[in-house]
Amino acid sequence: MVYITQLIYIKPGSESVFDAFEAVAIPTIAKYNGQLLFRVRPTDNQFIEHHIDPPYEIHLVSFNSEADFENFKNDEERKKVLHLKEQSIRAVLLIQGHKL
C-alpha cells in the first residue's frame, strides 16, 4: 500500500477551474485500486502551528501499489483535463509514504 498526501495551493480566483479538474480526477482514483481517504479545505483557525502558507486543500489517497499510482497518473481521461490543473494550481507539495 502506498499513501499520497498532497498540499494543494491554487491561484486566487481559480476555484471553479480547480473543481472542474477534481470532478474528473477524483473519481478516477478508484479505477486504479485507489481510495480518497480524506479531502480537507482547512481554514486559518484549524491550524495549531504553521510555518508555510496554509494550502487550499489537503488530500490523503491510498493505492494498492506504486504501479496503481502510476497508472492513475497516466489515465487518458485525466490527461484530457490536466490543462485545468495547470490553469488553477499554483503549487503542490506531494508526500509519498507507506504505513509503518
User: Where do the structural domains in the chain lie, given as residue ranges?
Assistant: 2-97
How do residues 32-71 score in pLDDT, each as one tens digit?
Answer: 999 999 999 998 888 888 888 999 999 999 999 999 999 9
Band of residue 18 on the pLDDT scale cut at 50, 70, 90: very high
Helix ranges (DSSP H) in 9-56: 15-31
Whether domain 2-97 has CATH 3.30.70.100: yes
Q: Judge whether 28 and 64 are in contact, CB under 8 Å.
A: no
pTM for the whole structure: 0.90
| Per-residue model confidence (pLDDT) at position 66 | 95
In DSSP terms, which residues pair with 40 in a beta bridge? 58
Average pLDDT taken over every residue of the chain: 96
Beta strands in the chain (DSSP E): 2-10, 34-40, 57-63, 89-97
